[in-house]
C-alpha cells in the first residue's frame, strides 16, 4: 500500500510482538508503536473482538514484510526529535547523544583518511600510477 507521500505500509516482524502489524502501522503513521498496540488491545477488550481480530489477521496476510534494505536506510536517516508524546521520534537528550555518536564516527573516518593521504604509501602509489 503506497500513499501520496511516498511511504509504503509494511508489517515489521522484527520490532513486532506477534506479526509486526502494529509496528508497521506505527511506522507508517509516525506514531509510537506502544500507542498503536494499546489502541488495538483497547478496542479488542472493549468489544471489538471480531473486528480487530479480522483486520489484524487480514493485514498480517496482505502486508509484505518490510525489506531489509529499508531497515538499513532507516538506521541512517535523519534524527527526528519527538514533539509530542504519541509521536514517533527521539527525546531531545537521546537525539543529542545520537548526533554526537554520528559526528564521532565521521571524525574517526576523517582521521583515517588524513592518515592514509599523508602516508608514504599513498605518495608512492600515486607516483607508480603516474608512470
Cell reading at 122: 599513498
Cell reading at 8: 509504503
- More confident of the two residues 124 and 84: 124
The pTM score is 0.51
Percent share of the chain, pLDDT over 70? 76
Give the pLDDT confidence score for residue 127 in this predicted structure.
82
Give the pLDDT confidence score for residue 45 in this predicted structure.
83
The whole-chain average pLDDT of the chain stands at 78
Strand ranges (E), 15-117: none
Q: How confident is the model at residue 107 (pLDDT cuts 50, 70, 90)?
A: very high
Cell reading at 45: 477488550
Q: How confident is the model at residue 4 (pLDDT cuts 50, 70, 90)?
A: very low
9-42 residue pLDDT tens: 888 878 777 888 888 888 888 888 888 888 888 8
Rounded Cα–Cα distance for residues 100 and 22 (Å): 31
Rounded Cα–Cα distance for residues 64 and 59 (Å): 9
Amino acid at each position: 500500500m503506497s500513499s501520496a507521500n511516498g511511504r509504503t505500509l509494511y508489517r515489521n516482524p522484527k520490532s513486532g510482538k506477534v506479526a509486526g502489524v502494529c509496528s508497521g502501522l506505527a511506522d507508517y503513521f509516525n506514531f509510537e508503536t506502544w500507542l498503536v498496540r494499546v489502541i488495538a488491545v483497547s478496542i479488542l477488550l472493549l468489544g471489538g473482538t471480531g473486528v480487530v481480530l479480522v483486520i489484524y489477521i487480514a493485514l498480517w496476510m496482505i502486508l509484505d514484510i518490510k525489506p531489509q534494505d529499508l531497515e538499513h536506510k532507516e538506521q541512517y536517516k535523519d534524527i527526528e526529535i519527538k514533539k509530542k508524546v504519541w509521536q514517533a521520534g527521539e527525546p531531545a537528550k537521546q537525539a543529542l547523544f545520537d548526533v554526537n555518536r554520528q559526528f564521532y564516527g565521521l571524525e574517526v573516518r576523517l582521521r583515517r583518511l588524513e592518515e592514509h593521504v599523508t602516508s608514504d604509501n599513498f605518495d608512492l602509489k600515486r607516483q607508480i600510477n603516474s608512470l
